[in-house]
Amino acid sequence: MKQGHSLTAILLAAVACFGVAAAMAAGPKDDVFKGKLFPPNVILEHQEELGISKQQFTKIRAAVVEVQGNVAEYEWDMRQAYMKLTAELDQSPVDEDKVLEYVNTALLAENQVKKQQMRMLVRLKNLLTAEQIAYLESIHGQ
């Protein structure tokens, strides 16, 4: 295996380890949003029990479609940054400044994706009635 490819593999393994560590640190017991925000799939799985109106359904669908469109642009930016990062890691020597620039670009795009997702979750909650929220909170704790 080339030195550049082994460096890429090491970097990807390190990123994966950090991701697993972060997920473990923010496990189900520590999920600060648990029971406070509800993803669209949970709302739609329980739409009958919730009595979701046609108007609510239409607005929920619009919010999901909007975030998908907004997120796509940032996902392209992330992919491009990671492609450049991988190519740079294949170089010898590796340009540290370029690597950090590409990592920063990818992380900024990822942050925007998370903001868009949070915006959607808040909008979805605001579309629900107090009774619907109470129902989702009760089943989310199960």
Whole-angstrom Cα Rg for the chain: 20
- Strand, helix or coil for residue 13: helix
79 in Cβ contact with 105 (< 8 Å): no
Which tens digits make up the pLDDT trace of 71-81? 998 999 999 99
Does the structure show a pLDDT above 50 at 17? no
10 in Cβ contact with 92 (< 8 Å): no
Residues 6 or more apart in contact with residue 56 via CB below 8 angstroms: 127, 128
Does the structure show a pLDDT above 60 at 10? no
Local confidence band at 139 (pLDDT 50, 70, 90 cut-offs): confident
42 in Cβ contact with 136 (< 8 Å): yes
Which tens digits make up the pLDDT trace of 32-90? 777 789 999 999 999 999 999 999 999 999 999 999 888 998 999 999 999 999 999 99
Does the structure show a pLDDT above 50 at 25? no
Q: How far apart are CA 67 and CA 72, in angstroms?
A: 8
Local confidence band at 18 (pLDDT 50, 70, 90 cut-offs): very low
Displacement of CA 139 from its chain's centroid (Å): 23
Please tell me the predicted confidence (pLDDT) of residue 19. 45
Residues 6 or more apart in contact with residue 60 via CB below 8 angstroms: 40, 43, 44, 52, 124, 127
Please tell me the predicted confidence (pLDDT) of residue 34. 77
Q: What domains, with CATH codes, occur in the chain?
A: 3-14+39-140 (1.20.120)
